[in-house]
Amino acid sequence: MPQKETIIVFGAHSDDFVIGAGGTIAQYTQEKKKVLCIVFSYGEKSHVWLQQKIIKKVREKEAIKAGKILRCRVRFFDLREGHFAEDFEKQGLEQELLKLLEKEKPTKLFIHSFEDPHPDHKACHRMVLQLLEALQNQQRPELYTYSVWNPVSFKTQCPALYVNVTKTFSKKLKALQAFRSQRLHIVYPFFLLLFRAVINGWKIRTLFAERFFRIR
């Protein structure tokens, strides 16, 4: 039997893959593709009212629950916020992720946009580029960026990929509700996602769509 097409989504924090590509992930898994989400950090520092250890458990549980809704697998790494590059090297993640890429042979990778102002998102972007540079003896996957804190892209001149998520947009919203500890509904207004999905949908004449830019 031929191997299922595999897609990997990289995100700095536990909720980024859902905000950036949740509808697309659900759409791909519905098309029987395999989607794996890599979360680089538990983001334990950003929390004021829970202890670090508990936060890690909570974040992992929430992300796995969201992953179940979108039907993707979620894997965590333990990079400290603000120290991504340093910990990436210290923990030998490059080798580990290279092995993963060699095993899974993904056709597409999704990462944060370089226009995203969050420093950890930027670091995540750079780390995956570096990873691809190190990837040898294998065809390089297509590389796409998604948006979290950069709702509008001014500088991106790269070709856009629009994915029709009309059938799966409700799953994205449901998956976002799994992140209760993040108080996402306060931090990240859902109407913004809705607005963006409608605008992107209009571009390809569907109700809802997600847009990505192909940078490689």
Binding site for Zn ion (CB under 5 A): 12-13, 16
Closest to Zn ion by CB, 97 vs 124, is 124
Tokens 């960026």 map to which residue? 145
Taking the complex as a whole, how short is the minimal distance between the CB of residue 127 and Zn ion, in angstroms? Answer: 14
Confirm if 81 and 55 have CB atoms less than 8 A apart.
no
Closest to Zn ion by CB, 42 vs 213, is 42
Closest to Zn ion by CB, 81 vs 143, is 81
Q: How many CA atoms lie within 13 A of 182 on its CB side?
A: 25
Which two three-digit tokens encode residue 79? Answer: 């990079």
Closest residue to Zn ion, judged by C-beta, is 13
Residue type, 215: I
- Calculate the CA dihedral of residues 6, 132, 25, 74 and round it to 10 degrees: 90
Taking the complex as a whole, how short is the minimal distance between the CB of residue 121 and Zn ion, in angstroms? Answer: 6
d(CA 67, CA 74): 6
Closest to Zn ion by CB, 6 vs 184, is 184
Closest to Zn ion by CB, 121 vs 171, is 121
Could you tell me how many helices (H) and strands (E) the chain has, helices first? 8, 7
Taking the complex as a whole, how short is the minimal distance between the CB of residue 149 and Zn ion, in angstroms? Answer: 8
Tell how far CA 41 is from the center of its chain.
12
Residue type, 105: K
Closest to Zn ion by CB, 33 vs 58, is 58
Taking the complex as a whole, how short is the minimal distance between the CB of residue 16 and Zn ion, in angstroms? Answer: 4
Which two three-digit tokens encode residue 5? Answer: 């097409």
Which two three-digit tokens encode residue 74? Answer: 């979620």
Taking the complex as a whole, how short is the minimal distance between the CB of residue 116 and Zn ion, in angstroms? Answer: 8
Taking the complex as a whole, how short is the minimal distance between the CB of residue 135 and Zn ion, in angstroms? Answer: 24
